[in-house]
Amino acid sequence: MDFCNAERSRRLRRWTIVMLLTSLALGLNQLASRVDLNIDLTKGGRYTLSQETLAWLTKLEKPADIIITIRESNNQPKIIQRLLLDLDLLLDAFERAPSSFPIRIHRVDVNARKAQKTLIEKYNLAEPNLILVATQGEENPEKAILFRFDDQPATDTSDPKEAFRSRESKARDAVFDSGLYDEWAESNRNVPEPTKFRGEEVILRSLMRVTRARKGPNVVYFTRGHGEGSPSDANRDHGFSEMQKFLESRNLEVAALAPDPNARIPEDAALVVVTSPQVPFRAQEVARLRTFLSERKGSLMLLIDPIVDQSIDSPPAFGFHPLLKEWGLRCHDMLVHDPDLSKFDIFSGDYSLRTYSQGEEHPVVEPLIRHGLAVYTGKCRPVERENAPPEQIEATELIYSSRTSWGRSDWRSQQPPDVRDDLLDITGPVPVASLSEKKLRPRHEVKIKGGKVAVMGSSQIFVNRILRSNAGNRTLLRNLVHWFLDESEMLDIPPKEIINYSIKMNEQQFRELLYSTAYVPSIVALLGLFVYWLRKDILAS
């Protein structure tokens, strides 16, 4: 037997097998790179889009970009890391889904302007912690902010509540405001953690908002000429610029309504807002608002403060009393007084409201009740439902003061100590925010939209300082806008359950786990070396 030829043949076969295996691996890798196939093996299809979402995607009218400017880093707050993880595969599912127009996902580092100059300049990206949905290929693209997290240190040192908030706390509030998660519950670390993920619904809403032409009015008008607060005013205590930012992020325009009583309210008006008037509205001005509500099925939001200046001789509710009565509401010129100091925030002195609509929960306050959120305000006045509202009017008292409070009638001239007048005062809990809606009789089972009115007994509920720092107030504003625009039932996509896994161990336990997981591969490696040495020794002999 020719051992030299036999050894040569073994080597040739060995290298042939190596080359064939290498070629097979390269071929499979090339084939896999050309096949875009994802299989969702998670329980309940966590990252598979629902049939409703797929149906809506075929109705998009423009291509869209989803831009993420959040950097993936271990230094990010834990809740932000979870958000990026949950969104990652879901966004890929949106990008791969069959739709009438393409959806593209872009992860942008706003600090690398040269590398991603086109996207940064096109969408004017400057914030590092932002998720944005925008239309593609337009000079002035429609944009909707999906998520925003401002992790910069507070510049307003006069607000202790903001100055001492941690980065983790700000991140948690930002995630809560986005609506991407739902049903928050206390964790074992005594901090609220979400139990359901609503990312699919929130992303789809934003895509539809920017890519589909809005049917009907889309401008929110703020009245002027009566000393009202301005939506362009950034003053922390009296301005409403935060409210304007919120409305614009919902793809709504904000404009001023001229005080001309003879001018018709513009046809593009979706909502008229009156913010803290200081002088009464004239009868002609109220009349055009009445026409807007009744004939054009419009919406009106009144933010009316108690009259502090005794020199102001104002008719009830600044001239809105007759209009509100037609809508089954009463707005008293009283002051809600509460002797219980525990109802006031120790830092800001704001009054907390935690009692909501009695009986059946109204959709506007249902999330507040479910999450145990408080709405904060300053001085406020009662806003009651009429005992017998007019026909077709459905009035609801939304938010109440505490049981220890009462509505003081002659509060401007009353001297301490505060004494309740059982005859003239309103016994607590006192309603301070109410809604009214005209329910028209449907014909042929077709829903007919009527006008809507919301009255808040204080403008402080939505001023910059309180709206910026309180999740309850932001949730209330978001739900009110959905209610005004009839968006509460637009989609019915079930949320996905969040499955949490956690391991608790000390340093010693971690080392033991690390060593134990290294045992098996180490033994296999040593066994392989021993077999290799043994075979080499046999061949050599």
Give the chain's end-to-end CA distance (angstroms, integer): 16
Max avg pLDDT among 38-47, 279-288, 303-312: 279-288
Q: How far apart are CA 62 and CA 78, in angstroms?
A: 35
472 with 533, same domain: the answer is: no
Closest by CA position to 402, among listed 423, 421, 429: 429
The verdict on 437 and 514 lying in the same domain is no
Instruction: Give residue-wise pLDDT tens across range 143-201.
Output: 888 898 887 766 655 666 666 678 888 888 889 888 898 888 877 777 788 888 888 88
Structural domain ending residue among the three candidates 201, 234, 269: 201
Domain count, the chain: 4
Residue ranges making up the domain that contains 4 = 1-35
Structural domain includes residue 345: yes
How sure is the predictor about 444, in pLDDT bands with cuts at 50, 70 and 90? Answer: very low
Whether residues 434 and 523 fall in one domain: no
Q: Average pLDDT of 1-9?
A: 64
pLDDT band at residue 249 under the 50/70/90 scheme: confident
CA 128, 132, 134 angle in degrees (round to 5)?
A: 135
pTM of the model: 0.75
Task: Report if residue 497 sits inside a domain.
Answer: no
DSSP string, 16-85: HHHHHHHHHHHHHHHHHHH-------STT-TTS--HHHHHHHTT--S-EEEEE-----TTS-HHHHHHHH
Decide if 78 contacts 168 (C-beta within 8 A).
yes
Q: Which residue has the tokens 């069959």?
A: 98
Say if residue 264 is in the same domain as residue 399: yes
Q: How many CB atoms lie within 10 A of CB 82?
A: 18
Chain-centroid distance of CA 456 in Å reads 21
Q: Where are the alpha helices (DSSP H) in 447-506?
A: 464-469, 471-484
CA distance 475 to 482: 11
Residues 13 and 72 occupy one common structural domain: no
In this structure, the answer to whether residues 76 and 6 fall within a common structural domain is no
Here the CATH number for the domain that contains residue 436 is 3.40.50
Claim to verify: residue 195 and residue 319 sit in the same structural domain: no
Q: For residues 305 and 424, state if they share a domain.
A: yes
pLDDT digits 0-9 by tens, 69-96: 998 888 889 899 989 988 988 899 899 8
**Is the same domain home to 263 and 358?**
yes
Residues 328 and 477 in one domain: yes
pLDDT higher than threshold 80 for residue 113: no
- 368 assigned to some structural domain: yes
pLDDT band of 490, cuts 50, 70, 90: very low
Examine the domain organization and report whether 267 and 390 are in the same domain: yes
- Judged by DSSP in three states, 113 sits in coil
Look at residue 212 and tell me if it is in a domain: no
What are the tens digits of pLDDT across the range 406-429?
998 877 666 666 778 878 888 889
Query: Is residue 498 situated within a structural domain?
Result: no
Give residue-wise pLDDT tens across range 366-422: 888 888 889 999 999 999 999 888 888 999 999 999 999 999 887 766 666 677 887
pLDDT over 50 at 442, yes or no: yes
Give the separation between CA 177 and CA 191, rounded to whole angstroms: 16
Q: Is residue 42 part of a domain?
A: no
Identify whether 129 is part of a domain: yes
Residue 66 or residue 450, greater confidence? 66
Kindly state the average pLDDT of the residues 191-218.
84
Q: Which among 351, 364, 336, 353 is positioned nearest to 453, based on CA atoms?
A: 364
> Is residue 16 domain-shared with residue 110, that is, in the same domain?
no
**Other CB atoms within 10 A of residue 373 CB:** 22
The domain boundary, picked from 451, 484, 517, lies at 484
On whether the CB atoms of residues 381 and 464 are closer than 8 A, the answer is: no
239 found inside a domain: yes
Cross-strand pairs, 376: 352
Angle at 197 between CA 196 and CA 199, to 5 degrees: 160
Tokens representing 72 are 């993936």
